[in-house]
Structure 1
Amino acid sequence: MNGPEISWLPDRRRLHFNHGPIDLIVEAWGDPKELQAAYRQAAARFETILPELVGELTELRRPASTTPRNFLGSTAQRMEAAVAPLSRTFITPMAAVAGSVADEMMAAMVAGRRLDRAYVNNGGDIALHISPGQEISAAIADTGHGLADRLTIRAEDPVRGIATSGWRGRSFSLGIADAVTVLAVSAAAADAAATLIANAVDLPGHRAIQRQPARDLAPDNDLGDRLVTTGVGPLDAEEIELALEAGLSIAETLRRQGSIQTAALYLGGRNRISGTHELAVAGNVTRGVPVHA
């Protein structure tokens, strides 16, 4: 595996961080000297984050329980903390890895710095920093059904993380959601919750749904012999509504217990919203890419 690579994107405003499976876009706003220092801090942390995760990978692939384990690395600790409250259903810390990496990089970037706002986008799982009086707009698109919209996160909102999960995404899903986007207090929390909600959007045993054991697709993944979705054929309106309602039930439970603020569930051109953020008004959500309005 090649070492960490860090470079400016052509716009010279955003930094691209890449190391193995980690691929980040980072941008911040503020005083130029503060920005330079923040980017240096992020670059220094990026040198070590993947080796730390690899060192504890075996245990990170094992199911979580309500009693958190004592991991050495701070990113692994974030992962475990995000999934432990959800572990009455099968989940491993890997369900929160992308969001936790985003949170860890953000924490390194803002430590001791004065930034107006910033984001770390890890393939659509996003950590946010928003100073008082500031806000960040996020462009949301790509359900495969032509949906596109924006949402705005303000400093006073209890949201610092956005994450999306679904069977069409880069990670395996046990469900059939085209996309589930979650807003939460951290990217790690949003990532873990989006995984569980997307898994719950399902029609078990339906003949239009293709599934394979996860181990057959990636022998070293954390799902083992569990069947993951590889294709979803035509579903009628009643079936789509049934699957969405199953996922919405989980989203509502997570929202009531304070694990998330908002969730948007998408399947077959239909959606369900749990929460009251303006996302619910916009009604068109999936892959998050923060932009400055």
Structure 2
Amino acid sequence: MKPHAAILPDGHRLHLQHGPIDLIIEAFGEVAVVQEAYRAAVERFDGLLEALCTELPLLRAQQKADSAEAKGIVTRRMQAAVGPYAAAHFITPMAAVAGSVADEILAAMLAAGPLRRAYVNNGGDIAVHLAEGEVFAIGLVDRPDQPGLFARGEIRAGDRVGGIATSGWRGRSFSLGIADAVTVLAPSAAMADAAATIIANAVDLPGHPAITRVPAASLQPDSDLGERLVTRGVGSLAPDEIALALRGGEIRARALIDAGLIAAAALHLAGATRLVPTSYVLVQPEAA
């Protein structure tokens, strides 16, 4: 299968797709610069999936202090994003693959010329660029099949936010936790991707009878999670149980903010939301 590249019917956004990689891209600026940015994105996208596949055994292996260094630009970015968590958690570079790809395509676009604003959305993991004075309004949804807004906010130039990523058991990737959604704002999409995974795993109630878990390998034989149990269903939970699970994620998110790894996080479980912001304005819709 060859990479697919096309301008969407709205005439503004670029769609790039190859295998599991599916990107929606939009840039704002002078027409000629936007066109050149799109050309650069298409050029960089060509061969990107093949390069990732050549290093799959390393990328699916647990990241450790003595792990071999990846060879590619994108794969090294994946390792760097998960590195801060490797000593205390099971994590593989695949936890940052979507964000790392988004970061790489955005970097190619910005190298082509100055843009006012731009984003690369890789299935919900988003690399963003804002020139001085620019703003992105963001909306956070809890599940892809029945999207509902559970928080909103704004990202401004100078906020040190270059990426947004979401993880949870209802998403396209497996989760060890029970969060419907954990959305993270971070300096890069790769960093946000890795952190969202770690925080979502911390939203949990180990051993709870209402939670259905199965080995990841039983669902996807080549999963990087192997026989680890991933969440496939969350039944009825009492309010105090929901609060307890969310508290675990809040503690983890606050620690990552204090470490400078993320800027803010929004956690959502069974209709309840917890926001862990710093100077970033994240609010629940009803509070608007």
Task: Report the TM-score when normalising by structure 1.
Answer: 0.93
137, 149, 152: which one aligns with 1:150: 152
After superposition, residues 185-204 of structure 1 pair within 5 angstroms as 185-204=187-206
Task: State the AA in 2 paired with 1:21.
Answer: P
- Percent of aligned positions with the same letter in both sequences? 56
Match of 1:212 in 2: 214
Superposition deviation, residue 9 in structure 1: 1.1
Bigger relative contact order, structure 1 or 2, given CA contacts below 8 A and separation 6+? 1
* Number of equivalenced pairs: 282
Q: 1:66/1:263 Cα in 2 relative to 1: closer, same or farther (>3 Å)?
A: farther
Separation (CA, whole Å) in 2 of partners of 1:279 and 1:77: 32
The answer to whether the 8 Å contact 2:167/2:200 transfers is yes
Match of 1:70 in 2: 69
Residues 129-167 of structure 1: per-residue CA shift (max 9 Å, x gap): 111121222233344584355321111111010000000
Q: 1:126/1:198 Cα in 2 relative to 1: closer, same or farther (>3 Å)?
A: same
Q: 1:64/1:140 Cα in 2 relative to 1: closer, same or farther (>3 Å)?
A: same
Match of 1:33 in 2: 32
Task: State the AA in 2 paired with 1:132.
Answer: E
The answer to whether the 8 Å contact 2:151/2:266 transfers is no
Structure 1 gaps of 5+ residues are: 285-293
Match of 1:291 in 2: none
Query: Root-mean-square deviation (CA), in Å?
Result: 1.4
Match of 1:117 in 2: 117
Superposition deviation, residue 213 in structure 1: 0.1
Separation (CA, whole Å) in 2 of partners of 1:217 and 1:277: 40
243, 246, 249: which one aligns with 1:244: 246
Separation (CA, whole Å) in 2 of partners of 1:28 and 1:202: 38
Q: 1:113/1:69 Cα in 2 relative to 1: closer, same or farther (>3 Å)?
A: farther
Residues 2-51 of structure 1: per-residue CA shift (max 9 Å, x gap): 11001111101101110000000000001111111111110001011101
Q: 1:145/1:238 Cα in 2 relative to 1: closer, same or farther (>3 Å)?
A: farther
Separation (CA, whole Å) in 1 of partners of 2:222 and 2:180: 25
The answer to whether the 8 Å contact 1:66/1:85 transfers is no
244, 260, 275: which one aligns with 1:273: 275
Superposition deviation, residue 275 in structure 1: 1.8
Match of 2:105 in 1: 105
Match of 1:288 in 2: none
1:171 paired with 2:170, answer no
Separation (CA, whole Å) in 2 of partners of 1:274 and 1:255: 9
1:262 paired with 2:261, answer no
Separation (CA, whole Å) in 1 of partners of 2:138 and 2:127: 12
- Secondary structure (helix, strand or coil) at the match of 2:169 reads coil
Task: State the AA in 2 paired with 1:97.
Answer: V
Task: Report the TM-score when normalising by structure 2.
Answer: 0.94
The answer to whether the 8 Å contact 2:175/2:230 transfers is yes
The answer to whether the 8 Å contact 2:37/2:110 transfers is yes
Match of 2:96 in 1: 96
Match of 1:53 in 2: 52
Superposition deviation, residue 265 in structure 1: 0.7
